[in-house]
Amino acid sequence: MADAIPATPRRILRDIDPSAWEHPADRAALMAVRRIPVFDEVLKTLFGIFGEKPIRLAFQANAVRVGPKQFPDIWHHYVEVCETLDVRDMPELFVTQTPLVNAGAYGMDRPFIVLNSGAVRLLSRDELTYLMGHELGHVMSGHVLYRTMIVLLMQLATMGFPVIGIAARVVLMGLLEWQRKSELSADRAGLLALQHPEATLSTLMKLAGGGREEETDLNEFLVQADQYRDGGDAADMVFKVLNLLGATHPFHVLRAAELRDWIEAGEYDRILRGDYRHRQDGPAPYKEDLAAAARAYREDAQTF
């Protein structure tokens, strides 16, 4: 797919606070999982066993660190994306060899981002902009600690949760529900990095089914999303929930529909005009934030 040309020059979002793009359901789900009685115990035990160094070494041993001399085109592109979101402390970026078109952000004290080679080879520059912005959104929103926790717990689940114990299963299910909702926040960050709504939605379509530009139609994809989201009876709703159990991401059609709704609500344009919460402003008012989170969680819990 040829890169689309943005209608306006790229805007640098100076001092943008992550709360500007965070989905209320993301915050509500994280608050819910933190209230699980064994959460703190599992967290301390898990990172007491593994720590940051083994996780970082695993990627350094089986991936290529991006920089001026390795994947230089990706490096210069990554610098631009970081500038757009005004990232002060750039996370390390790696490329790992795997055909799956995806990426991830991991770590504890020192987050890092991993691009799969399948994504590097398949996606256009615009699409990679969205993908890198998406992962930077996870980093800036403080998601990486819990995302790393999910990866470790899923690996331990295959061995019956040795050492940590069966209580970790409850924590894992809660974290997976939160992670699906955290993707909605990161999708907004990816859009703000790219600043081209149609190209962003087309990227989600490509991640859903692949295909070349001449083989697909974005309008039809969004119609498909609305049909899935709004159609069906009570039995269909049960199956929709069951389909998501154990999943790490919401369905791409639903992510596209949710992002389109955010654009149509005017939030995207408002941010590009410079009307957003800045880092020095501090957190959003507690009662207002909590009410919005609870409302969104109640409305969307069975969808994503």
Each residue of 83-101: pLDDT tens digit?
999 998 999 999 999 988 8
The better pLDDT of the pair 98, 60 is held by 98
* Residues making up the chain, counted from first to last: 304
The CA-to-CA distance between both ends of the chain, in Å, stands at: 28
Residue corresponding to tokens 């509500």: 28
- Tell me the C-alpha distance between 75 and 97, whole Å: 17
The first and second tokens of residue 36, run together, are: 């699980």
What's the pLDDT at 47? 76
DSSP class of residue 20 equals G
Q: What percent of the chain has pLDDT over 70?
A: 81
Q: Tens digit of pLDDT for each residue in 168-223?
A: 788 888 888 898 899 999 999 999 999 999 999 998 888 887 777 778 888 898 88
- Give the model's pLDDT for residue 295: 55
Nearest C-alpha neighbor of 184 from the set 266, 276, 258, 268:
258
3-state class of 67 per DSSP?
strand
Calpha distance 271→265 (Å, rounded) = 12
Interval 101-113 mean pLDDT:
90
Predicted confidence band at 3 (pLDDT cuts at 50, 70, 90)? Answer: low
Give the list of residues 6+ apart from residue 24 with CB closer than 8 angstroms, or none: 289, 292, 293, 295, 296, 297
What percent of the chain shows pLDDT beyond 90?
Answer: 40
pLDDT, one tens digit per residue, over 231-251 is 554 334 433 443 444 444 567
What is the Cα–Cα distance from 222 to 257, expressed in whole angstroms?
6
**Per-residue model confidence (pLDDT) at position 234:** 38
| Lookup: tokens for 123 | 């996606």
Structure tokens at 243: 């389909």
pLDDT recorded at residue 283: 65
Q: What is the pLDDT of residue 232?
A: 52
Range with lowest mean pLDDT among 146-150, 250-254, 264-268: 250-254
Over the chain, what is the mean pLDDT? 82
Q: What predicted TM-score, i.e. pTM, was given to this entire model?
A: 0.84
Could you write out the DSSP letters of every residue in 260-276? HHHHHTTHHHHHHTT-S
Considering all CA atoms of the chain, what is the largest pairwise distance in Å, rounded to the nearest integer?
Answer: 56
Closest of 122, 160, 129, 90 to residue 10, by C-alpha: 129
